[in-house]
Amino acid sequence: MLKVTLRDDSVREVARGTRIVDILNELGGRLKKEAVAAVVNGLVVDVAHELKEDATLRFVTFEDDEGQDVYRHSSSHILAAAVKRLYSDVKLGIGPSIKDGFYYDFDYSESFVPEDLLKIEAEMAKIIKEDHPYERFELPRQEAIEYFTSLGEDYKVELIRDLPDDVVISCYRCGDFVDLCAGPHLASTGKLKAIKLLNLAGAYWRGSEMNPMLQRIYGTSFPKKSLLDAYLTRLEEAKKRDHRKLGKELDLFSMQDEGPGFPFLHPNGMILRNELEAYWRSEHQRAGYDEIKTPVILNRVMWEQSGHWDHYQENMYFTKIDELDYAVKPMNCPGSMLIYKTKMHSYRDLPIRMGELGLVHRHELSGTLHGMMRVRSFTQDDAHIFMLPTQIKEEVKKVIALTEKIYNTFGFDYHLELSTRPEKAMGSDEMWEVATTVLREVLDERGLPFVINEGDGAFYGPKIDFHLTDSIGRNWQCGTVQLDFQMPEKFDLSYVGEDGQKHRPAVIHRVIYGSLERFMAVLIEHFAGAFPVWLAPRQVLVIPISDKHHVYALSVLEALQEAGLRVEADLRNEKVGYKIREAQVQKTPYMLVVGDKEAEAQEVAVRERVAGDVGSIKVADFISKIQDEITTKAVPG
């Protein structure tokens, strides 16, 4: 008999070969209905999995991340099965689950159009109703190659050939559809309830521009129609907030064919950016940072020294100067190392905090570019802190406190992830363990909840990532705190200790905005373009009721300008209602309407962006009110 330890630490004895679904049926209740898979000794498996040894067993539902992956991966198989039924000569690429959904890539001679999605959805509904079991089976390597070759699935054959020799070739069958897949999956197609296909896109096979362009169909799925409806409503809201759409409407930025992936900031966009930079500078000066600027292009020797030439070359741009190899910087950190090294430091000098709003360039595939969210040139609000090993914890705590302060200014909630050593990394296991332990201890000591993100650290050290939650519930990874013992070694950095000997400093790499361009995009969508007054490109619009009120309107304009406000007057020969509606579309925080009554009383009739008409007020009192909003950086309610 085998011993199975459940989540509540109770132990059951079962016969070898018992299926997980048998235990699930015995337990009954809500879990029997909602479980989509199980975790056995740390591995996610189908409920049809047979137990061969003593095990810890945990059931997962759609409420778990693992459960959502299984549910949506199973959905992608139904999508592929439906497409194969409708278009027999299509060839299959891959079909993983992704955040909030799934996709499948297809090689097909005809171009899919939006109308095809409705037809495919209908076929998927038939397959769900047929309730085919997801059946796992394994094939010897050569037999698997021959099997998928006979089906004409060239991409599957390529995947099999690239798998290590010792990997088991597993497949899943549902009805007459078979796919190469590691699983796990739901018990049957009938377990899927609410599915929606969302859109089409092109995608290079295996992400390489050297490979064929496939057609990608995106979809999502949920166990309840109400959850799907809520998600689709959120998608509609996200479309309204799309920073590319609002960026054009508010004249903030543009993307041009002459520079794909290189954003053009317009005057309004530069106001937003300059305000973000000014806020960054003021907070960092208070926190003891000195600002620096390092070159955009540095020679190959330096990039070899930093490790980027070996570990990051595919993301870099290169050039030659005087017949020598140079690279455009993808990161700012080596420049900070070189500045530190320009003079000898004592332990009394540390910590040294260097901040840089540094322009970097990274080679991104054209298919991954997305407005200002994913670009090829961007400015990172980098900082590098050089410190004694005994100062690490205190400095990490200060970085977290500064990050929290800045995010709170914008009204963001967030959660934390601790990312550990990636497969491609510099340094010994021991160094990595020390660095990871320090970050974990800081989070524990501050009482901050976090999740582990295995293998997602930087190549030179582990990191803490901040994931912001915006006003409609989406998450964005922005800030990061990375602890590094590798770069000081690579650049032979040192300080003179109390003992008069040279020692290695530790280094923290950190960003808070992450990328100014991406953070601007997040803010555009978070506020739906209706920025807080301190960020708004135009803070106030003065609207005279008629031509005879232009003189007073201009006097109000002048008073506000002298107070340092960004203000314009609309003197066009248009109706007041039209001017107000246009200002609302432009997300102007305040509209000041002036006529005979206001001119006589030296007042303005105030109209707020959200609240509408709020009454008349003295010009001086309005200036005091709006300046207070700007100083406190008040967030719209």
DSSP string, 497-566: -TTSSEEPPEEEEEESSS-HHHHHHHHHHHTTT---TTT-SS-EEEEESSGGGHHHHHHHHHHHHHTT--
Confidence of residue 1 (pLDDT cuts 50, 70, 90): confident
Q: Let me know whether 17 and 83 are in one domain.
A: no
pLDDT at 192 over 70: yes
Q: Let me know whether 411 and 441 are in one domain.
A: yes
CA atoms of 124 and 79, how far apart (whole Å): 6
User: What's the number of domains the chain is made of?
Assistant: 4
Give me the catalytic one of 509, 549, 566, 587: 509
The pTM of this model reads 0.82
* Segment 141-169, tens digit of pLDDT: 999 999 999 999 999 999 999 998 878 89
**Start-to-end Cα distance in the chain:** 61
* Segment 409-431, tens digit of pLDDT: 999 999 999 988 887 777 777 77
Give me the catalytic one of 216, 273, 284, 463: 463
Q: Among candidates 453, 520, 504, 446, which has minimal Cα distance to 480?
A: 453
Q: What is the pLDDT of residue 637?
A: 64
Q: What is the pLDDT of residue 164?
A: 85
Residue 384 falls in the annotated catalytic set = yes
Domain boundary, last residue among 26, 61, 96 = 61
Q: Let me know whether 85 and 161 are in one domain.
A: yes
Place of tokens 């020294």: 305
DSSP string, 262-281: --EE-HHHHHHHHHHHHHHH
Q: Among candidates 135, 87, 131, 94, which has minimal Cα distance to 113?
A: 87
Query: Could you tell me where the DSSP H helices lie in 151-256?
Result: 154-162, 225-241, 243-249
Q: Let me know whether 71 and 209 are in one domain.
A: yes
CA atoms of 427 and 58, how far apart (whole Å): 36
Find the mean pLDDT for residues 88-103. 94
**618-622 contacts, C-beta under 8 A, 24 or more apart:** 619/556, 619/559, 619/560, 622/590, 622/592
Instruction: Indicate whether 98 belongs to any domain.
Output: yes
Residue 361 falls in the annotated catalytic set = no
Q: Let me know whether 57 and 74 are in one domain.
A: no
Residue 382 falls in the annotated catalytic set = yes
Find the mean pLDDT for residues 440-463. 85
Q: Among candidates 595, 587, 469, which has minimal Cα distance to 537?
A: 587
CA atoms of 229 and 524, how far apart (whole Å): 25
Domain boundary, last residue among 526, 557, 574 = 526
CA atoms of 1 and 16, how far apart (whole Å): 6
Amino acid identity of residue 132, one-letter, is: H
Q: Let me know whether 346 and 492 are in one domain.
A: yes
The CATH number of the domain holding residue 43 is 3.10.20.30
Amino acid identity of residue 341, one-letter, is: K
* Segment 20-60, tens digit of pLDDT: 999 988 888 888 889 999 999 999 999 999 999 989 999 99
Instruction: Indicate whether 619 belongs to any domain.
Output: yes
Give me the catalytic one of 105, 382, 465, 484: 382
Give me the catalytic one of 191, 241, 362, 609: 362
The CATH number of the domain holding residue 384 is 3.30.930.10
Mean pLDDT value across the chain: 93
Instruction: Indicate whether 52 belongs to any domain.
Output: yes
Place of tokens 């305000």: 275
| DSSP for residue 424 | S
Domain boundary, last residue among 491, 526, 561 = 526
Q: Among candidates 410, 399, 420, which has minimal Cα distance to 508?
A: 399
Residue 343 falls in the annotated catalytic set = no
Find the mean pLDDT for residues 193-200. 96
* Segment 298-332, tens digit of pLDDT: 999 999 888 888 888 889 999 999 999 999 999 99
Least confident of 79-83, 364-368, 380-384: 364-368
In the numeric block, which tokens belong to residue 583?
Answer: 């200002």
Say which residues have a Cβ less than 8 Å from residue 111's Cβ, sequence separation at least 6: 215
| DSSP for residue 636 | P
Amino acid identity of residue 530, one-letter, is: A
Give me the catalytic one of 380, 391, 482, 539: 380
Q: What is the pLDDT of residue 246?
A: 95
Amino acid identity of residue 529, one-letter, is: G
- Going by DSSP bridges, is the β-strand pair 2-5/55-60 parallel, antiparallel, or unpaired? parallel
CA atoms of 279 and 241, how far apart (whole Å): 24
Instruction: Indicate whether 124 belongs to any domain.
Output: yes
CA atoms of 61 and 70, how far apart (whole Å): 9
Higher pLDDT, 475 or 623: 623
The CATH number of the domain holding residue 106 is 3.30.980.10
Confidence of residue 557 (pLDDT cuts 50, 70, 90): very high
What percentage of the chain exceeds 90 in pLDDT?
A: 78
Confidence of residue 244 (pLDDT cuts 50, 70, 90): very high
Instruction: Indicate whether 79 belongs to any domain.
Output: yes
CA 523 to chain centre: 13
Q: What is the pLDDT of residue 484?
A: 84
Instruction: Indicate whether 261 belongs to any domain.
Output: no
Find the mean pLDDT for residues 244-266. 95
Q: Let me know whether 33 and 14 are in one domain.
A: yes
CA atoms of 448 and 469, how far apart (whole Å): 16
**CA-derived radius of gyration, the chain:** 29
Q: Let me know whether 71 and 39 are in one domain.
A: no
Find the mean pLDDT for residues 211-240. 94
**Burial class (CB within 10 angstroms; exposed 0-12, middle 13-18, buried 19+) of 324:** exposed
Residue 618 falls in the annotated catalytic set = no
Give the CA dihedral 27, 28, 30, 33, nearest 10 degrees.
120
Give me the catalytic one of 171, 174, 181, 333: 333
- Going by DSSP bridges, is the β-strand pair 590-594/475-484 parallel, antiparallel, or unpaired? unpaired
Q: Let me know whether 474 and 325 are in one domain.
A: yes
In the numeric block, which tokens belong to residue 387?
Answer: 């410190």
The CATH number of the domain holding residue 550 is 3.40.50.800
DSSP string, 196-224: EEEEEEEEEGGG-TTSPEEEEEEEEEESS
Find the mean pLDDT for residues 499-517. 94
Q: Going along 51-144, which residue ranges are E strands?
A: 55-60, 91-92, 97-98, 101-107, 135-139
Residue 22 falls in the annotated catalytic set = no
* Segment 97-150, tens digit of pLDDT: 998 999 999 999 999 999 999 999 999 999 999 999 999 999 999 999 999 999
Instruction: Indicate whether 509 belongs to any domain.
Output: yes
Say which residues have a Cβ less than 8 Å from residue 43's Cβ, sequence separation at least 6: none
- Going by DSSP bridges, is the β-strand pair 450-453/324-328 parallel, antiparallel, or unpaired? unpaired
Residue 333 falls in the annotated catalytic set = yes
Phi/psi at 263 (5° precision): -70, 145
Q: What is the pLDDT of residue 313?
A: 87
pLDDT at 506 over 80: yes
Q: Let me know whether 128 and 221 are in one domain.
A: yes
CA atoms of 35 and 61, how far apart (whole Å): 5
Contact by Cβ (8 Å): 70, 37: yes
Q: Going along 239-370, which residue ranges are E strands?
A: 253-254, 264-265, 290-291, 297-299, 317-321, 324-328, 352-361
Instruction: Indicate whether 143 belongs to any domain.
Output: yes
What is the biggest distance separating any 2 CA atoms in the chain, rounded to whole angstroms? Answer: 96
Q: Let me know whether 295 and 441 are in one domain.
A: yes
Give me the catalytic one of 132, 384, 510, 587: 384
- Domain span including residue 617: 540-632
Q: Let me know whether 433 and 293 are in one domain.
A: yes
